[in-house]
Amino acid sequence: MERSRRVLVTGAGGFIGHHLVKRLKDEGYWVRGADIKLPEYGASAADEFELLDLRRWHNCLQAVRGVDEIYNLAANMGGIGFIHAHKAEIMHDNVLINIHMPEAARLNGISRYLYTSSACIYPGYKQNVPDVEPLKEEDAYPADPEDGYGWEKLFSERQCRHYWEEYGLETRVVRFHNIFGPLGTYDGGREKSPAAICRKVALAKDGDDIEVWGDGKQTRSYCYIDDCVEGIYRLMQSDHREPLNLGQDRMITIDELVDITSAIGGKRLNKVYDLSKPQGVRGRNSDNTRLREVLGWEPQISLEEGLRLTYEWIRGELEMSGKVVPEAQLIKEASLVREGQAAVAV
């Protein structure tokens, strides 16, 4: 009987890595997860999980032993507030991980290696107005990426290219565009905008104010986690070695993101803008032309459906922590109010 393909997922304690491990297990792979921390929400589906600091060379060698393929998702990262305030830390940690991992892969005869990059590699000069043109993969150069985090990602993309050219390591590079969904960080400073807005809406009462970073006119596209994992898996099976966008190509404003989430929560909220907070580039959207050509596929889950699932999960987490009143209790209280009003009317 042929043994299962053995894969390593680094960053398996993080949001995308946690979902990816489950998908790979569903596909029949034997999976080792490695990260500096365990998953925050629920146990990993990995066959084995090793707590390893992959900034250290010897830990990278330990992580890659006996596997056929590597999905390298390990990174020190967060939302715009975090990456704006921790540039040196991010560059230091992630460059160490990303120079060690492909070398460990090469020395251990790994057949295929995936690196997860980011839309933050795209030049600022192409993203300085809200109504931007969708970003094509070739738009990365001449380079002017997000300071710190974006430069580190762009450097590591080139590292992958050179490992293919010089050593024959089959590398795959994916550029994420704002991935969101359940089991992701939603508070504490590292959360991305969809999770932060879902949390704020869930905590608010009807008619409350909601804080929005920036003026609300900045634009983005958002990709639900299930589509992200599907795209990663398809790319790893392909023969495409150049960087590839992975995201939705529907661009909306942050104001619209707040309005959609508020509607999901059944609340009318007043937006209050904080122009002192970091807001990133003015506009960003994914050009999915090459994604469709290479994979014969594109993300399928609508923003509304993805936000509904994410909002329900975050609200559930807040209910369990006692920060919001459970929906069932609210329904019961509303019913009692209506019954009381009816009795008074009689």
- Identify the pLDDT of residue 3: 66
Measured CA to CA, the distance from residue 346 to residue 334 in angstroms comes to 19
The CA distance from 212 to 230, in Å, is 31
| Residue 289 burial (10 A CB sphere; 0-12, 13-18, 19+) | middle
Q: Residue 2 has what pLDDT?
A: 55
Q: Output the average pLDDT for the chain.
A: 94
Among candidates 248, 116, 101, which has minimal Cα distance to 181? 248
For residues 42 and 33, what is the distance between their CA atoms, to the nearest angstrom? 14
Give the pLDDT confidence of 255-264 residue by residue, as tens digits: 999 999 999 9
* pLDDT at res. 96: 98
Which position among 149, 222, 233, 311 bears the catalytic label?
149
Average pLDDT over residues 205-232: 97
Write down the pTM of the prediction.
Answer: 0.93
**Domains and their CATH numbers in the chain:** 6-320 (3.40.50.720)
Q: For residue 335, what pLDDT is reported? A: 54
* 149 carries an active-site annotation: yes
- Residue-level pLDDT at 151: 98
Tens digit of pLDDT for each residue in 77-129?
998 999 999 999 999 999 999 999 999 999 999 999 999 999 999 999 999 99
pLDDT confidence tier of residue 342, bands split at 50, 70 and 90: low
Contacts with 226 (C-beta within 8 Å, 6 or more apart), sequence order: 19, 181, 301
Q: How far apart are CA 62 and CA 50, in angstroms?
A: 9
Please tell me the predicted confidence (pLDDT) of residue 325.
84
pLDDT mean over 159-187: 97
pLDDT at 155: 98
- pLDDT at site 332: 55
Q: Is the pLDDT of residue 344 over 70?
A: no
> What does the pLDDT look like over 272-328, one tens digit per residue?
999 999 989 999 999 999 999 999 999 999 999 999 999 999 999 999 999 998 865
Beta-sheet pairing, 219-220 with 252-253? antiparallel
Which residues in 14-35 are b (16+ Cβ under 10 Å) and which e?
Answer: bbbbbbbbbbbbeeebbbbbbb
CA distance 156 to 245: 16
Using one digit for the tens of pLDDT, what is the confidence trace for 13-54?
Answer: 999 999 999 999 999 999 999 999 999 999 999 999 999 999
